[in-house]
A and B are shown apart, each in its own frame.
Chain A
Amino acid sequence: SPALAEPLGLGREALPEEIAAWDVDVMPDGTGLPEGSGDVASGEGLFQEKCAACHGDFAEGLDNWPALAGGEDTLDHKDPVKTVGSYWPHLSTLWDYVHRSMPFGQAQILTPDETYAITAYILYSNYLVDEDFVLSDRNFSEIEMPNAGGFIVDDRPETEYPVFTAEPCMRDCKESVEITMHASVFDVTPTDPADKDK
């Protein structure tokens, strides 16, 4: 690229094995997926074994741990429930993230076939496929996620910057001011005795 400076000759060529070991990301169109497959039933077994302790038997989430299923049609509610089924736009992200970063505390132990199976089970938990469904690199791009159309590119330059770019008021900007909310009502801030000694 002409915009860039001349190379200095530092570093060395990356070997194919090295690139294969680290470059495991999957694009929305499925680029990067390895060959393989897995069905809902084997995914359910793997999920109980490796995932359910945090995410629940049905991917519904335990305690504060993330729910992976549920929350359909809640995105415009006061407290939206954002899960794989209700929120995530691409199936590639689910496969990629599970394969690279889950289970939490023991990442990168899942084979491609195991990842396909767990992905199939999470789809099933979201009522997006039948119980006999088999997910593979070949049918991967046929799955459309419910909220695929739910995202827009950052529109602050159009919707906010013109509104907030004006000489601000300095004097007598409003008639009166009332307190409408107090943090002390919630009383959820950690307290530290050290603060009071100062």
Chain B
Amino acid sequence: MSKFATTSRRGVLRAGLAAGALLPAASLSARAQDGPDPLITEVQDWARYTGAGVDETPYGLPIRFESDVIRRNVPWLTADPISSINFTPIHALDGTITPAGCAFERHHSGAIELAKPDYRLMINGLVDRPLVFTYADLERFPRQSGVYFCECAANSGMEWAGAQLNGSQFTHGMIHNMEYVGVPLKTLLAEAGIRPEGKWLYVEGADASSNGRSIPLEKALDDCMVAFKANGEALRKEHGYPVRLVVPGWEGNLWIKWLRRIEVTPGPVESREETSKYTDTLDNGISRKWTWVMDAKSVVTAPSPQVPVRHGKGPLVITGLAWSGRGAITRVDVSTDGGRNWRTARLAALGQRMAMTRFWLDHLWDGEEMLLQSRAMDETGYVQPTKDALREIRGENSVYHNNGIQTWWVRKDGSAENVEIS
């Protein structure tokens, strides 16, 4: 009996190997076959019997073999799971659109259930006509669409003091990228009529935390959207159903979910979420406030600690994501030697403003250790800095806005680890 290479348990048993026996990495390659493959030479069940009917799954979930592609949380990060965060499995995804079902969540008082008939949106403050809209009203306004990333201000925040969490899901997974449809915020504001003294907006959600934030009027009139659809369907409950704010390029905390009120104000409210939180303390004890924009950033999603190289040396796809809150990604460079030398990766598609960009580098791995890094550039000419370059300016206590270059150490056995390098 020959040692048939296969990843299928059934195939392993048929080949006479002990169940669960570790296959040498090389045997995962089609080139290592030394006999006919029973997955080909024997008629398989799925080639003989029928599959599921079209009436079985009115709304489907991923096939069970993909059960590891899920949100994960890190219990020690927060006091409880209600005001907390979980992480998108970016290590296992490709392309740019994040499936809503595994797109990260960040709540301050949990994911609330708010039905469309119960939904109200108020616009008040320095306006000619304070207004109340129902959900049905919102659907009657002219619509727009756009693909944008939503990145938590705290994404990679645990890494300020050094390499801590082992996997791109945990170090970079407070992010998702969806296609939104909704109404331009400026259209709704026009309905109310902004008075000349109105310079800022205060936006808040219907949940107990309210998550109130102040936004300068220029941004609101530029590209903010009151969204009710994401990736083609209604928003998920945990993403703000039925209505959320989309604030392209700006920190995720401003993307108010379950949006219930927009107040036009003469100045910022300086709410809890823009004083106590989402302010960035520098080395000298002074803190930056209103650090709204998320700067250019990237990460290699595979190989990475959760995605070791199991196929041995030879062709290897190095892939990852890049994004910038200041415009389109124009270039991503990848290094396999810790930043000593760089090669420019292929972008899967032209970068779009404030949206994720997928990059691939087709590499021939010699089986030696690698220190993998990626370095994003955006249309302003900004080049993603190293973590040390950021720390030199800010120190280690910023909490938020860590867009430093990530390093994965890939060992000879293909396993990978989150490290920092000199």
Interface of A with B (CB < 8 Å)?
Answer: 1, 3-14, 18-19, 22-23, 25-28, 54, 63-66, 75-76, 78-80, 82, 84, 87-90, 92-93, 96-97, 100-101, 104-105, 107-108, 150-156, 159-161, 163-166, 168-174, 176-184, 186, 188-190, 192, 194-195, 197-198
Asked if B163 and A178 sit within 8 Å, CB to CB, the answer is no
Q: Cβ of B419 and Cβ of A194 under 8 Å apart?
A: no
Per the bound structure, the CA–CA distance linking A84 and B276 in Å amounts to: 8
B residues near A (Cβ < 8 Å) are: 67-68, 72-76, 78-80, 82-83, 108-109, 122-125, 129-133, 137, 140-141, 162-167, 170, 186-187, 189-191, 193-194, 196, 202, 204, 208-210, 212, 221, 260-261, 263, 265, 267, 269-272, 275-276, 279, 281, 283-293, 295, 305-306, 333, 337-342, 371, 375, 377, 380-385, 389, 393, 396-397, 409, 417-422
Given contacts A27-B267, A195-B306, contact A153 B289 (CB under 8 A): yes
Q: Check A93–B275 contact: CB distance below 8 A.
A: yes
Interface of chain B: mostly helix, strand, loop or mixed: loop
From the candidates A25, A104, A173, name the one contacting B341 in the complex (CB within 8 A).
Answer: A173
State in angstroms the CA–CA spacing of A5 and B142 once bound together: 11
Most chain B CB within 10 A, of A3, A11, A12, is at A11
Q: How far is the CB of B360 from chain A (nearest CB, A)?
A: 18
Q: Tell me the smallest distance from the CB of B23 to a CB of chain A, in Å.
A: 13
**Chain A residues, CB < 8 A from B419:** 179-183
Q: Is the interface of A mostly helix, strand, loop or mixed?
A: loop
How far is it, in angstroms, between the C-alpha of A174 and the C-alpha of B285 when the chains are bound? Answer: 33
- Complex contacts, A63 vs chain B, CB 8 Å: 79
Query: Closest Cβ of chain B: how far from A136's Cβ, in Å?
Result: 21
Chain B CB within 10 A, most for which of A4, A107, A183: A183
In the bound complex, do residue A19 and residue B124 qualify as a contact, i.e. CB atoms below 8 Å apart? Answer: yes
Per the bound structure, the CA–CA distance linking A82 and B380 in Å amounts to 35
What CA separation (Å) do A49 and B68 show in the bound complex? 44
Indicate if the CB atoms of B270 and A170 lie closer than 8 Å.
Answer: no
Q: Which residue of A lies closest to B211 (CB)?
A: A101
Q: Please determine whether A8 and B421 come into contact, CB atoms closer than 8 angstroms.
A: no
B122 near A18 with CB under 8 A, answer: yes
Residue pair B263, A23 in contact (C-beta under 8 Å): yes
The answer to whether B286 touches A153 (Cβ under 8 A) is no
Flag if A101 contacts B275 (CB, 8 Å).
no
What A residues does B270 contact at CB under 8 A? 27-28, 89-90, 92-93
| With A89-B270, A164-B383, A194-B68: A101-B164 Cβ-Cβ less than 8 Å | no
A183 adjacent to B164 (CB under 8 Å)? yes
Interface pair B124/A14, CB less than 8 Å apart? yes
